[in-house]
Amino acid sequence: MASDKPPLRLGLIGTGFMGKTHVFGFTTAQRVFDLPFEIVLHAIADRTEALAADAARTLGFEKSSGDWRALVADPEIDLIDITAPNAFHKEMALAAIAAGKHVYCEKPLAPSAQDARTMAEAAEKAGVKTQVGFNYLCNPMLGLARELIAGGELGEIRSYRGVHAEDYMADADGPFTFRHDPAGGGALADIGSHALATAEYLLGPISAVTGECITVIGERPDGRGGRRSVEVDDIGRAFLRFASRATGCIEANWIAMGRKMQHDFEVYGSKGALVFSQERFNELHFYSAADPSGRRGFRRIEAGPDHEPYGLFCVAPGHQLGFNDLKAIEAARFLEAIAGRRPEPFGFRAGQRVQELVEAIQRSSREGVRVRVG
């Protein structure tokens, strides 16, 4: 039974971890949501023909190419999805935009806010839709957190503590990679971007930052038997001032031994508080000062159909979504934005914004002063 929906032909650049995750996301979104389009896995590209052909077979794409430009040039493709290394994002995205295609790009969007702005402006001028992969924000429990805050259930928000810590760079003998490149690399850019996006998602715009960026592992194997100096931060910290007058702090840390996914936050208001950990991302802990005396405490709310769009995945509460399900929500929201059903949830402007915050923190750290952000 052929779908009566218009097709949306996908061209995916990159076949690694994130490339696969995107395919999982689109595939699941197709089944779980009533999407405006029928997604077609049209073409996939990687550095070589062989890599791309292999991925096409595994992942179910119709065509493959060793040259990403072939996808951009393919008139049948509606959406270019970029999961290649960060350094290529700008060139690929601008080419795709120039070809009139919608663009979905993994984060960090670009090595500099200036580049990100260029990309966002190009997209706006071309009238195409864009998205950056802030999957953590697609968690129904973050939606609940925002709803609790926006609805006043926490009262006036006073303070915020956020962290994104993992240990994938904890091994001092791990090699120098593109993530260590001064142009756009470092823990703050790589994962601090998530912590910053979450902070603004929940509390609104940040107005000033004071940063401290620390390089702990000063050199790493260069892959050619030598050592290469590392200048990017392993740990980035910032004090945050929000336009709302709330204040807070965040930490990005990619050498936090033992941590696999500590994307956590705590929000304190005049009437309540929230505590969240991505390590158990199907839960949100909510304290309400309105509970009766002697009965107050952080309550562990488990994700369920009350927290949309959980119910589309499972009608029963407590069954839990997985990481790839968050990617499916992300993909679905982008398609809805492409169809004009909703605004872009995290367009290139959002990627630009986060990069501006990252750079403000880096500058604050370098110059030893507080930096205002627009």
Q: Which residues inside 78-137 make contact with its own copies, applying CB under 8 A?
A: none
Q: By C-alpha distance, which of 50, 92, 86, 87 is closest to 68?
A: 92
Give the interface segment with its own copies, choosing from 196-204, 274-282, 331-339, 342-350 (CB under 8 A): 274-282
Q: How many CB atoms lie within 10 A of CB 1?
A: 3
Closer residue to its own copies in complex, CB, 95/298? 298
Given candidates 47, 228, 291, 341, which one binds its own copies under the rule CB under 8 A?
291
Rounded to the nearest whole angstrom, what is the least distance from the CB of residue 119 to its own copies in the complex? 27
Rounded to the nearest whole angstrom, what is the least distance from the CB of residue 278 to its own copies in the complex? 8
Given candidates 6, 48, 49, 62, which one binds its own copies under the rule CB under 8 A?
62
* Cβ–Cβ < 8 Å for 247, 240: yes
Rounded to the nearest whole angstrom, what is the least distance from the CB of residue 290 to its own copies in the complex? 11
**H, E, C per residue of 191-230:** HHHHHHHHHHHHHCCEEEEEEEEECCCCEEECCCCCEEEC
Given candidates 6, 48, 50, 58, which one binds its own copies under the rule CB under 8 A?
58
Number of residues written out for the chain: 374
Closer residue to its own copies in complex, CB, 95/170? 170
* Residue 344: DSSP 8-state: -
Rounded to the nearest whole angstrom, what is the least distance from the CB of residue 97 to its own copies in the complex? 27
Give the interface segment with its own copies, choosing from 95-103, 121-129, 192-200, 366-374 (CB under 8 A): 366-374
3-state secondary structure of 57: helix
339 binds its own copies per the rule CB under 8 A:
no
Rounded to the nearest whole angstrom, what is the least distance from the CB of residue 124 to its own copies in the complex? 33
Q: CA angle, 345 as apex, 236 and 235 as ends, to 5°?
A: 5
Rounded to the nearest whole angstrom, what is the least distance from the CB of residue 273 to its own copies in the complex? 4
**Which pair of structure tokens corresponds to residue 157?**
């928000």
* Cβ–Cβ < 8 Å for 189, 178: no
260 binds its own copies per the rule CB under 8 A:
yes
Q: How many CB atoms lie within 10 A of CB 237?
A: 20
Closer residue to its own copies in complex, CB, 14/347? 14
69 binds its own copies per the rule CB under 8 A:
no
On the question of a cis peptide bond just before residue 309, with omega within 30 degrees of 0, the verdict is: yes
Give the interface segment with its own copies, choosing from 60-68, 70-78, 82-90, 174-182 (CB under 8 A): 60-68
Q: Which residues pair with 40 in a beta bridge?
A: 9
Rounded to the nearest whole angstrom, what is the least distance from the CB of residue 34 to its own copies in the complex? 7
Q: By C-alpha distance, which of 61, 77, 49 is closest to 20?
A: 61
Q: In the range 307-336, which residues lie near its own copies by CB under 8 A?
A: 307, 313-325
**Which pair of structure tokens corresponds to residue 291?**
């509970």
**Which pair of structure tokens corresponds to residue 101?**
């295609």
Q: In the range 215-254, which residues lie near its own copies by CB under 8 A?
A: 216, 234-235, 237, 239, 247, 249, 251, 253
Kindly determine how many residues on this chain lie close enough to bind its own copies according to the rule CB under 8 A. Answer: 100
Closer residue to its own copies in complex, CB, 110/165? 165
- The Cα–Cα gap between 106 and 262 comes to 20
Given candidates 268, 276, 334, 348, which one binds its own copies under the rule CB under 8 A?
268
73 binds its own copies per the rule CB under 8 A:
no
Closer residue to its own copies in complex, CB, 340/368? 368
Q: In the range 151-170, which residues lie near its own copies by CB under 8 A?
A: 154-155, 158-159, 161, 163, 165-166, 168, 170
Query: DSSP assignment of 69-130, as one string?
Result: HHHHH-TT--EEEE-S-GGGHHHHHHHHHHTT-EEEEPSS--SSHHHHHHHHHHHHHHT--E
294 binds its own copies per the rule CB under 8 A:
yes
Q: Which residues pair with 163 in a beta bridge?
A: 251, 264
Closer residue to its own copies in complex, CB, 212/219? 212
